[in-house]
Structure 1
Amino acid sequence: MALLHRAELHPTKLELLATWLPTRDWYEGEAGTEVVRVAAYRFDDPAGEVGIETLLVRVADGPVYQVPLTYRGAPLPGADDRLVGTMEHSVLGRRWIYDAPGDPAYAAGLAGAVLAGAGQAAEYFEVDGRREARPPSMDIASDAPEGGAVPAVGKVHRVVDGDPTVIVTDGAELAVIRKPGTVPASGDATLTGTWDGISAPLAYAWVR
């Protein structure tokens, strides 16, 4: 479950991405162009410390990009090269925003979604002391057999940037497709998803 806050963010996530995306080799747009949110999904952090959200965004008339992010209340040691930026959250204070493939919390959440069909976290706003559900903006699903074992992901040893972006961990190798619909899946199990505006599921990630 993801408990969301109606908060002001400075800068916003999309403003951070407008600066960060042009630094990626897999990005095809121009710098300084507005980034628009298409859809998003979240994973649960069992410890309740890390926000784990994957944004699908578009820049002008270019492709849809998949950008997994993690939100932390303190810097992630050894992950300076994955830092997208920092923001001020009007409820939670300063947040450190990371390109999620370098964060072990994301790797564990992705492995659970792909191999165990854990799905996305339900999202809630707290309003006047009660929780209001936020409808999902997209659906995700896994083709892994039911009851599949999820390895202990453990440490992220390295991240190979590109499309796909490959995450090598203690227990598995995971791949994140940056431009869904342009790269075929080639793992043992695949995460797919749909949102309004597409006619068939697209592959987003896989696990070997």
Structure 2
Amino acid sequence: MATIYTAELTPSKKEFVTAWLDKQFWGGSGEPELIGTYRFDDTSGEVGFEGFVVKRDDRILHLPITYRAAPLDGADDYLITRMQHSVLGERWAYDAMADPVGIHMLNQALAGEIQQAEYHFYNEDGQYLGSEDSDISIYIRGELPDEWGTVSVHHVLDTLDEDGGELRRLVGRWEDASATLFELTPTPKPQTDSVPVITE
């Protein structure tokens, strides 16, 4: 369950998403149009995870973000913004791929241990306003590998996802489109030099 307050953010999500995309080689240009978002829950309740899918410059882009109540040590290069939340106070937003808690949530999702969060809305006074599903639906595709491996992100969603394929992945679906958002690349097995056996 994702708890979302109808709060004021400074800077706004559109402002900091646009500013971060402007810094990325894959980020395109022009005014971004929000297609939708999705969220995962941190089981400890400390870190928020939100993924944005936007259209920009005729490209579909994907940006996963984590929200924290305090700075993440050693992650200054991946700080998207420091913002003020009218209910929660000061917050730090990071590229989720540089946040160990964000990666942990993605591993849990790929393993089928957690599902995307349902949105539950509250006003600034804490009054419950209701719930709704995300406009991006997340599905698991592919087989679990024998050895786990590394989670990688697709920032540019230029290929529609097919149901086939071997890699374990998280697929996002919206309206009449779908694309791989994350995939699990198995750890390659170490190569061993074979020693020829000489027999007499």
CA distances 1:164-199 after superposition (whole Å, capped 9, x unpaired): xxxxxxx6311110112349898630111210242x
Question: What secondary structure, in the 3-state scheme, does the structure 2 residue paired with 1:96 have?
Answer: strand
Could you tell me how far 1:13 is from its partner in structure 2?
Answer: 1.4
> Which residue in 2 is equivalent to 1:73?
69
| Correspondence list, 1:74-153, <5 A | 74-116=70-112, 118-126=114-122, 129-130=127-128, 132-144=130-142
Q: Distance in 1 between matches of 2:149 and 2:96?
A: 16
Q: Distance in 2 between matches of 1:204 and 1:79?
A: 22
Aligned residues: 181
Asked whether the 8 Å contact 1:15–1:35 carries over to 2, the reply is no
Runs of 4+ that moved beyond 2 A: 33-36, 126-131, 181-188
Q: What is the TM-score with the length of structure 1 in the denominator?
A: 0.78
Q: Distance in 2 between matches of 1:117 and 1:87?
A: 31
> Which residue in 1 is equivalent to 2:170?
191
Could you tell me how far 1:135 is from its partner in structure 2?
Answer: 2.5
Residues 1:79 and 1:135: Cα distance change in structure 2 (over 3 Å): same
Could you tell me how far 1:28 is from its partner in structure 2?
Answer: 2.7
Residues 1:144 and 1:28: Cα distance change in structure 2 (over 3 Å): same
Could you tell me how far 1:36 is from its partner in structure 2?
Answer: 2.3
Q: Distance in 1 between matches of 2:12 and 2:74?
A: 24
Question: What secondary structure, in the 3-state scheme, does the structure 2 residue paired with 1:107 have?
Answer: helix
Q: What is the TM-score with the length of structure 2 in the denominator?
A: 0.81
Equivalent residue for 1:53, pick from 47, 50, 53: 50
Residues 1:187 and 1:51: Cα distance change in structure 2 (over 3 Å): farther
Q: Which runs of no fewer than 5 residues in structure 2 stay unpaired?
A: 186-200
Q: Distance in 2 between matches of 1:126 and 1:46?
A: 20
Q: Percent identity?
A: 33
Asked whether the 8 Å contact 2:66–2:96 carries over to 1, the reply is yes
Question: What secondary structure, in the 3-state scheme, does the structure 2 residue paired with 1:142 have?
Answer: strand
Amino acid at match of 2:92: W
Could you tell me how far 1:126 is from its partner in structure 2?
Answer: 2.6
Residues 1:98 and 1:85: Cα distance change in structure 2 (over 3 Å): same
> Which residue in 1 is equivalent to 2:183?
206
